[in-house]
Amino acid sequence: EDQVTQSPEALRLQEGESSSLNCSYTVSGLRGLFWYRQDPGKGPEFLFTLYSAGEEKEKERLKATLTKKESFLHITAPKPEDSATYLCAVQEGTDKLIFGTGTRLQVFP
Amino acid sequence: DAGVIQSPRHEVTEMGQEVTLRCKPISGHDYLFWYRQTMMRGLELLIYFNNNVPIDDSGMPEDRFSAKMPNASFSTLKIQPSEPRDSAVYFCASGHGGTLGLAFFGQGTRLTVV
> How much is the pLDDT for B38?
93
Which DSSP helix (H) or strand (E) runs through B100? none
> How much is the pLDDT for B1?
63
Please give the torsion angle defined by the CA atoms of residues B31, A5, A72 and A29, in that order, rounded to the nearest 10 degrees: -60
Instruction: Please tell me the distance from the alpha carbon of residue B48 to that of residue B67, in angstroms, as a whole number.
Output: 9
> How much is the pLDDT for A1?
62
Distance from CA of A70 to the nearest CA of B (A): 17
Cross-strand partners of A49: A34
Across chain A, mean pLDDT equals 92
Distance from CA of A87 to the nearest CA of B (A): 9
In this predicted structure, the answer to whether residue A107 has a pLDDT above a threshold of 70 is: yes
What are the CB-based long-range contacts (under 8 Å, 24+) for A1-5? A2/A26, A2/A27, A2/A28, A2/A90, A2/A92, A2/A98, A3/A27, A3/A98, A4/A88, A4/A89, A4/A90, A4/A98, A4/A99, A4/A100, A5/A100
Q: Say how many Å lie between the first and final Cα of chain B, rounded.
A: 36
Instruction: Please tell me the distance from the alpha carbon of residue A12 to that of residue A19, in angstroms, as a whole number.
Output: 10
Per-residue pLDDT of chain B in tens (114 residues, 90 and over written 9)? 679 999 999 999 999 999 999 999 999 999 999 999 998 888 999 999 999 999 989 999 889 999 999 999 999 999 999 999 999 999 999 988 666 677 899 999 999 999
Distance of CA A60 to the CA centre of its chain: 15
Residues of A in contact with B5 (CB under 8 A): none
Read off the pLDDT band of A75 (50, 70, 90).
Answer: very high
Q: What is the phi/psi pair of residue A80, to 5°?
A: -55, -30
Residues of B with CB under 8 A from a CB of A: 4, 31, 33, 41-45, 48, 50, 55-56, 91, 93, 99-108
Question: What would the pLDDT profile of A30-60 be if each residue is shown by its tens digit?
Answer: 889 999 999 999 999 999 999 999 999 999 9
- Residues constituting chain B: 114
Residues of A in contact with B105 (CB under 8 A): 43-45
**More confident site: A85 or B97:** A85
Instruction: Please tell me the distance from the alpha carbon of residue A65 to that of residue B7, in angstroms, as a whole number.
Output: 36
Helix (H, G, I), strand (E, B) or coil at A82: helix
Distance from CA of B95 to the nearest CA of A (A): 11
R_g of chain A, CA atoms, integer Å = 13
Ranges of H-type helices in chain B: none
